Structure 1
Amino acid sequence: MTPAFRDELLALWSDVSNAGGSVGFVPPVTVEDIRPELISHLRAMAEGRARLLVALDDEGRAVGTVFLFQNTHRLMRHWVWLYTVMLHPSVQGRGAGRELMAAAEEAARSLDGVEGIRLTLRGGEGLERFYGSCGYKEVGRVPGAIKAGEGDFRDDVTMWLSLH
């Protein structure tokens, strides 16, 4: 992880967030708002608890990410979390998201003993349809658990992909 690539990921995360993407922030945000969260993800990678998959454009720039976090709870090591699934708005709608999700599934399948993938999403954005089309099933929903703005409460939706 070079400083330049880290900055590229920060810019991507900021662009996605400011375009309305539901990746842990609500607009407006700056790279400095996002930096602590990315550092936390990178620390997990350094500790061997997470893997990063990156989608690159034709010029080799990062246009998408997904982090696979291994579950450390002794009763739940048979599944992984997907975090920070994002795709730059300039490349959405062309199949890159499905390719990124397929790569995440393949990466999870390569991990010993992993039988499923779990992710959560912010309701009200249509993301359930996208993940559903990638094979995920909605397995839980907490109404109003995410505050996306003043008076804007969204459901916290849990989705699951069985790797059997």
Structure 2
Amino acid sequence: MHARQLTVADLAAYRALHRFALQEAPFAFVETLANDDARPDAPIADMLARGEGWGVFEGERLLGKLVIDTLPYACFSHTRWLHAIYLHPDGRGTGAGVMLMTAAMAQAQHEGALRFLLWVNEKNAAARGFYEKLGFREIGRVDKGIAAPGGGFVDDVMMCRALPLREA
């Protein structure tokens, strides 16, 4: 198994895994399969070309993916946002998720990142536990911030993994 930054050449595999994720775990995402079906390839290809996509592979098979990016302001250059995180059921419990997250965050840290933030559905206990094992802590939540599939609302939980800040 290995993790690496994705490239535009990985577009089809990324989109296929993302679509599978939206079907397999719709509660884990704020978008729907219909939203993704309506999205052209170009914005995804642009994200991959910027080096924001990461994947973990078993041989040539993409088992997991995430996006890590930052806001386009110098004052936020030390902060990275993780989203669109997903690990195929075949990769769960194998260390693939840790490998993926660790590789992406290590590269970002090499580039100066000291804060890693993500949002997670309060009901997604497995993901929250996984993030906590990686050092993320809940720092806030939006009460009933997500309209749940099938009706009702759930809290959107913000989690952060913070490294010591360096004084300028």
With structure 1 as the length reference, what TM-score do the two structures score? 0.82
User: Structure 2 regions of 5+ residues with no counterpart?
Assistant: 1-7
Give the superposed CA RMSD. 2.2
Which amino acid letter does the alignment assign opposite residue 17 of structure 1? L
Q: Percent identity?
A: 25
Whole-angstrom CA distance in 1 between matches of 2:38 and 2:63: 17
User: Structure 1 regions of 5+ residues with no counterpart?
Assistant: none
Question: What CA deviation, in whole Å up to 9, does each residue of 1:107-136 have, x standing for no partner?
Answer: 11111x321111111110112211011101
Whole-angstrom CA distance in 2 between matches of 1:6 and 1:44: 10
| Alignment of 1:24 onto 2:30 | yes
1:52 aligned residue: 53
- Length, aligned pairs only: 155
2:18 aligned residue: 13
- How far did residue 34 of structure 1 move? 4.4
Whole-angstrom CA distance in 2 between matches of 1:162 and 1:124: 23
2:105 aligned residue: 105
Higher helix share: 2
Which amino acid letter does the alignment assign opposite residue 137 of structure 2? K
Whole-angstrom CA distance in 2 between matches of 1:55 and 1:82: 15
Higher relative contact order (CA 8 A, sep 6+): 2
Residue 76 of structure 2 aligns to a residue whose secondary structure is coil
2:68 aligned residue: 68
- How far did residue 62 of structure 1 move? 0.9
Tell me which stretches of 4 or more aligned residues in structure 1 moved more than 6 Å.
none
- How far did residue 149 of structure 1 move? 1.9
Q: Kindly tell me: are residues 137 and 89 of structure 1, through their superposed partners in 2, closer, same or farther at Cα, counting changes over 3 Å?
A: same
